[in-house]
A and B are shown apart, each in its own frame.
Chain A
Amino acid sequence: MRNTFMNTLFERASKDPKIVFITGDLGYSVVERFADELPNQFLNVGIAEQSMVGIAAGLASEGFRCFVYSIANFPTMRCLEQIRNDVCYHNLPVTIVSVGAGVSYGSLGYTHHAVEDLAIMRPLPNIIVGSPADPMETIALTNFFVDRNGPGYLRLGKNGEPAIHNSTPELSIGKPIKVRPGDQGIIFATGNVLNIANEAASVASRNLGIEISVWSFPFIKPIAIDSLQEILADAPFVLTVEEHVRSGGFGSAILEACSDNDIDVQIKSVFLNESPLTAVGSADYIRSQRGLSVDSIVSSIKRCL
């Protein structure tokens, strides 16, 4: 996803000198072309995330459209107040780009896992939170944020995620995209783990004989209420799947939206357990150890039946 993001942003920035890419000294082997070919639109602030976001807000106030890039929690938690006060409060066109959604950087350990970021970014004013599931959604969301004149959060995986969509999807703000048909239950998923959700739906079809539709949510904020009302009308159940802890994440967003809008449906959620692991391992290993796997999704489906 990070390569796709960089390539897409590079293409847009080549044609638009207002686009500025700012890194907190990360992106080795990914950012060099942008730095070499568009030096006037590139800025490495060093390892200084708080000043990075403040500077981005200052640049944005002068008419630039800034993309601030770093890993996992560094461009969110380390500089949260700058995002809140300088960017969001002033409604400036700064998109925070975090690479390493969830436990993408599995073996690097908990310090490099972004598993509480959605809960932190969702409540901020004026911000739109994007969470692409594959390279195609990454292209669409990058273009969306380039075109948007306001704050954004783009939660990217790492690299090598499989393409789920055949082509770049047409985005409509807040609306999910159907990736698998079915009428005996619904899975809502976001980000990296859409392919796990898809696989779980396949297992349910094969082993349980039920057809479950799967929807990808490229947007976590806002969520289009009319879409929810339409999709969930008469649905037997909906299962949310996310690579984030329970509190304040994607499942919470769906629960809140349903509760606030009197959408009456059985909702279960699959998420990462809150406690960090002491052991390290691959992203798949950590996901499964923290409760997020094909098996855990299938188990949750069974509970809904």
Chain B
Amino acid sequence: MTQRSFTLAQEARVKTVEMTSAANASHVGSGLSMMDILACLYTEVISIDPANPKSQNRDRVIVSKGHAAAAVYAILGTLDFFDASWLSEYCSDGSMLGGHVTSHGVPGVEFSTGSLGHGLPLGVGAALGIKRRLRSERVFVLCSDGELDEGTTWESALLAAHHSLSNLTLIVDRNRIQSLGSTETTLRLDPLDKKFESFGWEVSSVNGHDHSELIKVLLQPQTSPRVVIANTVKGYGISFMENSVYWHYHSASPEERDAAIHEIRSAKYA
């Protein structure tokens, strides 16, 4: 863990709870589960300049689980990709920041997503283009585990391995909960590592809330596309939100919001 990644994750968690609560918006649990991944990427792994987010030499981060928009915006707003005051207008009339990640009018976002299963093909195309131009930028795609149900994941996973896209990393937010319940009772994914291995990918499984583990694996050189299966807890960091499909949809009441923020702020960097 680093102080920077810890502080960013903590601050963005608070904002995510505030934003979804104020907007009465869904998907707070989805955002909290992937917050540590985003915080590690943006502080210790990728190269990107918030003041020049379309620079050719930036690393690309494509968030395929577009419903976790509040978390993405909380990270980008905290890092000054745009004015943090935008966050308080999340999902309100006329706001740039809606309930699914958009690159339209929002600096720092590569693609507008929301319909699941779009991120990996986009990332494969970007990685292939970067390789064909003999450039060295890396492409990170962050997807949910539920969206691995989509066939596009596996179509493009085949192509990524076929073309040895060593500049492509897929991070799976493996919180094991999807829309109506457990991923394993909905449409079994395990053994997920074996599936990707058989597709020709390098596979790493890590604790998706352990910053040291995340940073280490995300900085390792690759010789083929890599999937990082980040084992996470939906709603992580707020005891009453953890591991519950309820918080895929529900937004915090003012009392729940305050309790959640108190719990987030109580966590100490160690």
Using a CB–CB cutoff of 8 Å, the interface residues on chain A facing chain B are 40, 43, 45-46, 48, 50-51, 53-64, 81-82, 85-86, 89-90
Contacts and interface: CB of A to CB of B under 8 A. Distances in A.
B128 A58 contact: yes
Contacts of A59: 125-126, 128-129
A81 B118 CA distance: 9
B162 to A, nearest CB: 8
Contacts of B120: 51, 54
Contacts of B113: 85
A89 B112 contact: yes
B133 interface: yes
Given A48-B155, A50-B155, A55 B111 contact: no
A58 B159 contact: no
B159 A54 contact: no
B257 to A, nearest CB: 32
Contacts of B110: 61
Contacts of A43: 128
Interface of B: 103-104, 110-115, 117-118, 120-130, 132-133, 151-152, 155-156, 158-159
Nearest to A58: B125
A50 B126 contact: no
Contacts of A53: 121
5 contacts: A48-B158, A50-B151, A51-B159, A86-B111, A86-B121
Nearest to B113: A85
Contacts of A61: 110-111, 122, 125-126, 129
A48 B159 contact: yes
B268 to A, nearest CB: 41
Contacts of B155: 45-46, 48, 50-51
Contacts of B158: 46, 48
Nearest to A62: B129
B135 to A, nearest CB: 9
A274 B122 CA distance: 36
A64 B133 CA distance: 10
A59 B130 CA distance: 8
Contacts of B114: 85
A53 B112 CA distance: 15
Q: Which of A58, A63, A64 has the most CB of B within 10 A?
A: A58
A82 B121 contact: yes
Given A46-B158, A62-B133, A86-B111, A54 B103 contact: no
A61 B112 CA distance: 12
B126 A51 contact: no
Contacts of B123: 58
A55 B128 contact: yes
Contacts of A55: 121-122, 124-125, 128, 156, 159
Contacts of B128: 43, 55, 58-59
Q: Which of A50, A54, A90 has the most CB of B within 10 A?
A: A54
Contact of B111 (A50, A51, A81, A90): A90
Contacts of B125: 54-62
Given A50-B152, A58-B129, A61-B129, A86 B159 contact: no
Contacts of B132: 40, 64
A85 B66 CA distance: 12
B133 A58 contact: no
A58 B124 contact: yes
Nearest to B137: A62
A84 B121 CA distance: 14
B121 A85 contact: no
A57 B159 CA distance: 15
Contacts of A40: 132
Contacts of A45: 155, 159
A8 B110 CA distance: 32
Nearest to B159: A45
Given A62-B133, A90-B103, A85 B124 contact: no
Given A55-B124, A82-B121, 8 more contacts: A48-B156, A48-B159, A55-B128, A55-B159, A59-B128, A61-B110, A62-B126, A90-B112
A56 to B, nearest CB: 6
Nearest to B130: A62
A163 B155 CA distance: 39
